């Protein structure tokens, strides 16, 4: 069984619509859609926003549904100047930018685990990066998303970035927030609100996982403009194509 998570319904509605759903279950006020996609056994759910919500959802997928792998898809704000709206960031590692138990423990390090960074699965990432590259470089994106929609958000030649994603219980939209994050994590590519929590749970349960983020904004004052429109017209279509093609290339 493969678990698929998005933080909000708009990020995974397209995936649910493509599934052959055999059952739904409500656990902890979340609806889990169980069925097949690309002939793979899957369970799909939206976690809600934030690290606690993501932790609850990931733990439920592992404990109740016995997932063997996990895919997280959604949007993020770019905080590296080379990361543009419409680009895709594939996490190689994740960290919590707002976690601080100093002076008891080093800043941003999780106590007792003694880890600041949680790595994604290299095998899943290899498959995922290959599929994303195909999506972007072979112009597949142009047959999947209209030119008008791409032009509306200024998306011309989106690219794949791989590296560090940071998470925190904050919507990042001010220069001071970005500056603070980059002081602690100069290599960070983008910021969001769930991925590092998912990563820690998967680490503790030994579940291979990947986190894929479409860049919806550049973490500035315009970050809230047309946010939902971007998700509906751009990122959920990115996510559907990428998730389907990952599933075509992995085992249950």
Domain ranges of the chain: 74-247
Q: What is the pTM of this model?
A: 0.95
- Whether the bond between 103 and the residue before it is cis, its omega within 30 degrees of 0, is yes
Low-confidence ranges of the chain (pLDDT < 70): 222-225, 252
CA 3 to chain centre: 13
Please tell me the distance from the alpha carbon of residue 141 to that of residue 160, in angstroms, as a whole number: 13
Annotated active-site residue in 10, 11, 87, 131: 11
Please tell me the distance from the alpha carbon of residue 183 to that of residue 160, in angstroms, as a whole number: 24
Q: How many Cβ atoms sit within 10 Å of the Cβ of residue 3?
A: 26
159 secondary structure, DSSP code = -
The question of whether 217 is a catalytic residue gets the answer: yes
Annotated active-site residue in 109, 131, 192, 217: 217
pLDDT recorded at residue 98: 96
pLDDT recorded at residue 108: 93
pLDDT recorded at residue 224: 61
The question of whether 11 is a catalytic residue gets the answer: yes
Cα atoms in the 13 Å half-sphere on the side-chain side of 35: 16
Q: In terms of CATH, what superfamily is 74-247?
A: Nucleoside phosphorylase domain (3.40.50.1580)
């Amino acid at each position: 069984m493969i678990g698929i998570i998005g933080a909000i319904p708009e990020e995974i509605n397209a995936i649910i619509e493509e599934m052959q759903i055999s059952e739904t279950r409500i656990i902890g006020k979340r609806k889990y859609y169980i069925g097949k996609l690309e002939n793979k056994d899957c369970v799909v759910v939206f976690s809600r926003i934030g690290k606690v919500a993501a932790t609850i959802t990931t733990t439920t997928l592992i404990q109740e549904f016995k997932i063997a792998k996990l895919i997280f898809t959604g949007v993020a704000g770019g905080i590296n100047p080379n990361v543009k709206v419409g680009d895709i960031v594939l996490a190689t590692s994740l960290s919590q930018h707002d976690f601080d138990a100093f002076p008891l423990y080093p800043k941003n390090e999780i106590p007792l685990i003694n880890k600041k960074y949680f790595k994604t699965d290299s095998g899943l990432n290899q498959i995922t990066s290959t599929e994303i590259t195909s999506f972007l470089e072979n112009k597949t994106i142009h047959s999947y998303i209209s030119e008008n929609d791409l032009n509306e958000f200024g998306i011309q030649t989106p690219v794949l970035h791989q590296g560090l994603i940071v998470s925190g219980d904050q919507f990042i939209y001010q220069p001071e927030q970005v500056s603070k994050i980059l002081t602690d994590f100069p290599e960070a590519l983008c910021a969001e609100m769930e991925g590092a929590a998912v990563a820690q749970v998967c680490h503790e349960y030994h579940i291979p996982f990947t986190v894929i983020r479409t860049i919806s904004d550049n973490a500035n004052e315009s970050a809230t403009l047309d946010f939902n429109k971007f998700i509906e017209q751009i990122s959920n279509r990115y996510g559907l194509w990428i998730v389907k093609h990952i599933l075509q290339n992995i085992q249950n």
